[in-house]
Chain A
Amino acid sequence: MDIIANYGSMLILIAAAVGFFMAYGIGANDVANAMGTSVGSKALTIKQAIIIAMIFEFAGAYLAGGEVTSTIRKGIIDAAPFADIPELMVLGMISALFAAGSWLLLASLLGWPVSTTHSIIGAIIGFALVAVGSEAIQWGKVAGIVGSWVVTPAISGFIAYLIFMSAQKLIFDTDSPLQNAKRYVPIYMGLAGFVMSLVTIKKGLKHIGINLGAVEGYALAIGIAVVVGIIGKIAINRLKMDPKADKQMQFNNVEKVFAILMVLTACCMAFAHGSNDVANAIGPLAAVVNIVEHNGEIAKKAALAWWILPLGGIGIVVGLAVLGKKVIKTIGEGITHLTPSRGFAAELAAASTVVIASGTGLPISTTQTLVGAVLGVGMARGIAALNMGVIRNIVVSWVITLPVGAALAIVIFYILRTAFGV
């Protein structure tokens, strides 16, 4: 109790610093997942990808990141057992941040695929188990979250399959693919804009104090969708088509049209990623701030402090600006045969799934969702070759991350407890 009174501001500062550090890591690490397919299929240059990522990751984090942040702040651990020992909750959350952040750093240095979401949740569960015991953990909620980790790749895969098949039916498998592409791609763009806006409007904005009624919300979403569609149509009309590019099927030109669509889905992916992953950095921070500002009282229904979401957003942006360029640069020859029409299907499916999860407050792994989506397109016989071995490694590392995150958090927690003499 006294720790909070005495060291309150310092604790917040530490938590903010570590949270920022974690957001930095998230930005650097994950940006390649969000933007990689766009750069690899030549829809964007590296510079454009970084700029888009900076804008939309921040937008996603700020406008739509509130719900998941709430879950991590108060949805995993039950506050009741901590009522008498709130300082342990504070120290615990800080340890969790440290643990997840260092694991992330180590993994990036070694090139291992690590889910930032799994790390932080493992870490939180870890310290809670040690601090209080298993009654502190809302196992029902946790089971739901872990369940979503299994379900969301399947869902995004299914959606990707459907989107790809629809593109085949409407555009590729027709007499005049190019004309149909020009006609339908703006509709896909409008759809993407609609899904992103709707989820953000309904679920995200209230965390930054903007409240819209149901009808206004839908109207705004539809409005944005239409604007996006129109912009798309204009961009497509400005494309220079090479009339002799292909003999019969004009597919190269069709892919050019899809490249424009891919720019949009890259924005959506960055937005979705920001919305879901920012919570991994600032959720614990929000918990710390909450407790300290209420002088040790763990209030269940407290709003997010105004500066928390922006801090996370900026951390992500700085991380991807500083380190992300290097990561994306190495993509180069990695994706030789990924065309925009495949990339778009996978990214749109993944982005929609992630943003809907963010709307429902579920912290999921964006990488997992993307892999699921890519597999969905592969199932539709749309991609030349996928490395199942790499996918297996990704899955294995995800499973390992939970216990490792927990273990690291426990260690750091004990260290902090000794340091603060609790």
Chain B
Amino acid sequence: MPSNAFLGVFAKSPIKPIEEHIKIVHKASSTLVPFFNHVFKSEWTEAETLRLEIRNLEREADVLKREVRLHLPRGLFMPVERTDLLELITQQDKIANKAKDIAGRVVGREMVIPQPIQNDFIAYLERCVDATKQASKAINEFDELLETGFRGREVTLVESMLEKLDSIEQDTDEMQIKIRQELRAIEGELNPVDVMFLYKIIEWVGELADIAERVGSRLELMLAR
């Protein structure tokens, strides 16, 4: 029992930690852009440094995720469902995990991205990072959503952000198709094992945008209460 019982009625808000978390996971995914620029030039030491940075960000995110989970006991009365919040942070966390996996796999095999597809690849990656950025923007409106009681103008604003997120994700789908076709055109000249791993990396990068879109969907579900 806190020193004053009435004030114990107010529980710690999970919103700030969730907003912090999405910022960190977005940072992890956006670090992939300078990472791949080093990979293109086969600068493996620099790439390794950035891989470690991404790994550290992923660990920071895990700490925050745990904190949020610990402070969400049952029996809290909130404007959104507790399970929705827990699901949201789980999804958000997957972005950092995926970024870490991508960097790890590329450095581990010292993967070379074939010169012909490099430009399209970096554009594709940047578009996927745009998706995580948009997700971060939307989640950071959580505070404002609470201010307005989850109704009215703010909801309309967030919904338009989520629509934009959807369209970014659609862009990345198209770009992924294009890259795969380009790779297919030149795969005969490349080591088959390397090619399979390349396809995997292309898939994983696409998943960054997919997960970001799922984060947006979770937020949309919460608004729909």
Taking beta carbons and an 8 Å cutoff, which residues of A are in contact with B? Answer: 32-33, 36, 40, 110-113, 164-165, 168, 172-175, 248-249, 251, 327, 330-331, 334-339, 341, 367, 370-371, 374-375, 378, 380-391, 393-394, 397
A394/B4 contact (C-beta < 8 A), A382-B79, A387-B76 known: no
User: Residues of B contacting A397 with CB < 8 Å?
Assistant: 5
Nearest CB of A to B145, in Å:
9
Q: Are A36 and B7 in contact (CB under 8 A)?
A: yes
Question: Bound complex: CA of A337 vs CA of B7, how far in Å?
Answer: 12
Q: What is the distance, in angstroms, from B16's C-beta to the closest C-beta of chain A?
A: 8
Closest chain B CB from A119 CB (angstroms): 15
> Do residues A384 and B153 form an inter-chain contact, with CB atoms below 8 A?
no
- Which A residue sits closest to B156, measured CB to CB? A173
CB distance from B224 to the nearest CB of A (A): 13
Q: Offer 9 A-B interface pairs, CB within 8 angstroms, sorted by A.
A: A32-B4, A36-B4, A111-B3, A331-B7, A336-B13, A381-B151, A382-B146, A385-B14, A387-B11
| Residues of B that sit less than 8 Å from A by CB | 1-16, 73, 75-79, 143-144, 146-154, 157
Smallest beta-carbon distance B4→chain A, Å: 4
Of residues B14, B77, B153, which shows the largest number of chain A Cβ atoms within 10 Å of its Cβ? B77
Q: Which residues of A contact B16 (CB under 8 A)?
A: 336-337
Give bound CA distance, A111 to B10, whole Å.
16
| A-B pairs with lowest CB-CB distance, top 8 | A113-B5, A173-B152, A384-B13, A381-B79, A337-B13, A385-B11, A386-B77, A32-B4
Contact of A378 among B1, B79, B151, B157 (CB under 8 A): B79
Closest partner residue, chain B, to A254 (CB atom): B147
B1 in contact with A334 (CB, 8 Å): no
* Given known A-B contacts A249-B147, A384-B14, A32 and B77 have beta carbons under 8 A apart: no
User: Are B6 and A394 neighbours in the complex by a CB distance under 8 Å?
Assistant: yes
Q: Is the CB of B1 within 8 A of A168?
A: no
Give bound CA distance, A169 to B55, whole Å. Answer: 46
Provide the residues of chain B in CB contact with A338, threshold 8 Å. Answer: 10
Give B4's nearest chain A residue, CB to CB: A32
Task: Point out the residues of chain A lying under 8 angstroms from B75, CB to CB.
Answer: 387-389
Instruction: Please name the residue on chain A nearest to B8 by beta carbon.
Output: A390
Are B6 and A36 in contact, CB atoms less than 8 angstroms apart? yes
Q: Which of A248, A370, A390 has the most CB of B within 10 A?
A: A390
Inter-chain contact A172/B152, CB cutoff 8 Å: yes
Closest chain B residue to A367, Cβ basis: B6
The interface residues of chain A lying within 8 Å CB-to-CB of B7 are: 32-33, 36, 40, 331, 334-335
In the bound assembly, the distance between CA atoms of A385 and B150 in angstroms comes to 14
Contact B4 A331 (CB under 8 A): yes
Write the nearest CB–CB distance from B137 to chain A, whole angstroms.
10
The reply to whether A388 and B76 form a contact with Cβ atoms under 8 Å apart is yes
Contact between B13 and A249, CB atoms less than 8 A apart: no
User: A385 touches which one: B1, B76, B149 (CB < 8 A)?
Assistant: B76
The smallest beta-carbon distance between B149 and chain A, in angstroms, is 5
Q: How far is the CB of B70 from chain A (nearest CB, A)?
A: 13
The complex places the Cα of A47 from the Cα of B40 at a distance, in Å, of 62
A374 vs B7: C-alpha distance in the bound complex, in angstroms?
A: 11
Contact (Cβ within 8 A) B5 A393: yes
Instruction: Specify which chain A residues have a CB less than 8 angstroms from the CB of B5 in the assembled complex.
Output: 111-113, 367, 390, 393-394, 397
Within the complex, the shortest CB–CB distance from A201 to chain B, in Å, comes to 29
Partner of A386, one of B76, B143, B146, B157: B76
A168 touches B77 (CB 8 A): no
Give the contacting residue for B10; candidates A164, A173, A335, A367; CB below 8 A. A335
Beyond contacts A36-B4, A173-B151: 18 other A-B pairs, Cβ-Cβ < 8 A, are A33-B4, A36-B6, A111-B3, A168-B149, A168-B151, A334-B7, A336-B10, A336-B16, A371-B9, A380-B149, A381-B146, A381-B151, A384-B13, A385-B13, A386-B9, A387-B76, A387-B77, A389-B75
Bound complex: CA of A392 vs CA of B76, how far in Å? 12
- What are the residues of chain A within 8 A of B154 when measuring CB–CB? 173, 249
The answer to whether A384 and B149 have CB atoms under 8 Å apart is: no
* Contact A387-B10, Cβ < 8 Å, known A113-B5, A334-B2: yes
- The residues of A that contact B4 with a CB separation of less than 8 Å are 32-33, 36, 327, 330-331, 334
Q: Of B3, B6, B143, which is in contact with the most chain A CB atoms at under 10 Å from its CB?
A: B6
Which residues of B sit under 8 angstroms from A375, Cβ to Cβ?
Answer: 77
Bound form: Cα–Cα A397–B5 in Å: 11
Q: From B73, which residue of chain A is reached at the shortest CB distance?
A: A389
Q: Are A33 and B79 in contact (CB under 8 A)?
A: no
**A378 and B13 contacting across the interface, CB-CB below 8 Å:** no
Name the CB-closest residue of B to A168: B149
User: Which listed residue (A164, A337, A371) contacts B6, Cβ 8 A?
Assistant: A371
Within 8 Å CB of A110, what residues of B? Answer: 1
Q: Nearest CB to that of B3 among chain A residues?
A: A330
Q: A334-B8, A382-B79, A389-B75 are in contact. Are A339 and B15 (CB under 8 A)?
A: no
The docked-state distance in angstroms from the alpha carbon of A274 to that of B149 is: 32
Question: In the complex, A251→B1 CA distance in Å?
Answer: 33
B148 touches A173 (CB 8 A): yes
The residues of B that contact A390 with a CB separation of less than 8 Å are 1-2, 5, 8-9
- CB <8 Å contact, A387 and B6: no
In the assembled complex, the Cα of A78 lies from the Cα of B6 at a distance in Å of: 34
Contact (Cβ within 8 A) B6 A251 = no
